[in-house]
């Protein structure tokens, strides 16, 4: 099953929320919607990450597929870049880590030059904001709806980078 199918849930939510937030004039309600979007975004990115690694394991060997499925069943929102590069990818081999880091660096440079923001920082902010909203019920003041959307889009690009890296 393609990992990108998970994105549809949050893509649909954004399509619904965009016109709602344009007509909304209540900052408190806007922070609630922004928090819900952060939670939804990280959830689908986590599902995509799990699918990428589980599909990789299953393609390599049935035993690796079984182990991978069991291992990634319990990650519970642990999808920060540091976790991906220090815990997850190295378990499959250095060549996959090097490939991911090379592709991510190129993607980061392209995004900085063409769009003027850091893809990695945007993604990192999304993960942190989701954590704050899910565990403390608050969105940090610097977490706007537009910034959460950007973080989600950055996450989709990072998952695409991961998926292309996890091939022979």
Residue 61 in 3-state DSSP? coil
Instruction: Please give the mean pLDDT across all residues of the chain.
Output: 94
Domain boundaries of the chain, sorted by first residue:
3-165
How does pLDDT run across 4-18, given as a tens digit for each residue? 999 999 999 999 999
Residues counted in the chain = 168
How does pLDDT run across 18-52, given as a tens digit for each residue? 999 989 889 889 999 999 999 999 999 999 999 99
Q: Provide the 10 A C-beta neighbour count for residue 30.
A: 17
Q: Which run of H or of E encompasses 151?
A: helix 145-165
pLDDT at 137: 85
Comparing C-alpha atoms, which of 137, 133, 126 is closest to residue 41?
Answer: 126
pLDDT at 14: 97
In angstroms, the CA 68 to CA 53 distance is: 7
Q: How confident is the model at residue 1 (pLDDT cuts 50, 70, 90)?
A: low
Q: How confident is the model at residue 141 (pLDDT cuts 50, 70, 90)?
A: confident
How does pLDDT run across 61-92, given as a tens digit for each residue? 999 889 999 989 888 889 999 999 999 999 99
Q: What is the DSSP track for 107-148?
A: HHHHHHHHHSS-HHHHHHHHHHHHHHHHHHS---TT--HHHH
pLDDT at 90: 96
User: How remote is the C-alpha of 27 from its chain's centroid?
Assistant: 26
**Using alpha carbons only, what angle is made at residue 90 by residues 84 and 94, rounded to the nearest 5 degrees?**
125
Q: What share of the chain is helix, strand, coil (3-state, %, to 5)?
A: 85, 0, 15
User: How remote is the C-alpha of 151 from its chain's centroid?
Assistant: 8
**Using alpha carbons only, what angle is made at residue 9 by residues 7 and 13, rounded to the nearest 5 degrees?**
115
How does pLDDT run across 153-163, given as a tens digit for each residue? 999 999 999 99
Query: What is the reported pTM?
Result: 0.94
């Amino acid at each position: 099953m393609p990992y990108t199918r998970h994105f549809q849930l949050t893509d649909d939510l954004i399509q619904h929320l965009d016109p709602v937030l344009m007509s909304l004039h209540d900052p408190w309600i806007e922070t609630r919607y922004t928090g819900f979007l952060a939670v939804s975004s990280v959830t689908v990115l986590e599902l995509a990450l799990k699918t990428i690694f589980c599909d990789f394991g299953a393609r390599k060997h049935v035993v690796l597929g079984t182990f991978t499925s069991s291992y990634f069943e319990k990650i519970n929102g642990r999808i920060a870049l540091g976790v991906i590069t220090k815990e997850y990818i190295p378990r499959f081999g250095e060549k996959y880590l090097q490939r991911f880091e090379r592709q991510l660096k190129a993607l980061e440079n392209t995004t900085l030059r063409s769009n003027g923001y850091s893809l990695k920082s945007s993604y990192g902010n999304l993960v942190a904001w989701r954590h704050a909203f899910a565990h403390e019920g608050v969105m940090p003041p610097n977490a706007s709806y537009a910034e959460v959307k950007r973080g989600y889009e950055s996450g989709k690009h990072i998952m695409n980078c991961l998926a292309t890296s996890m091939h022979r």
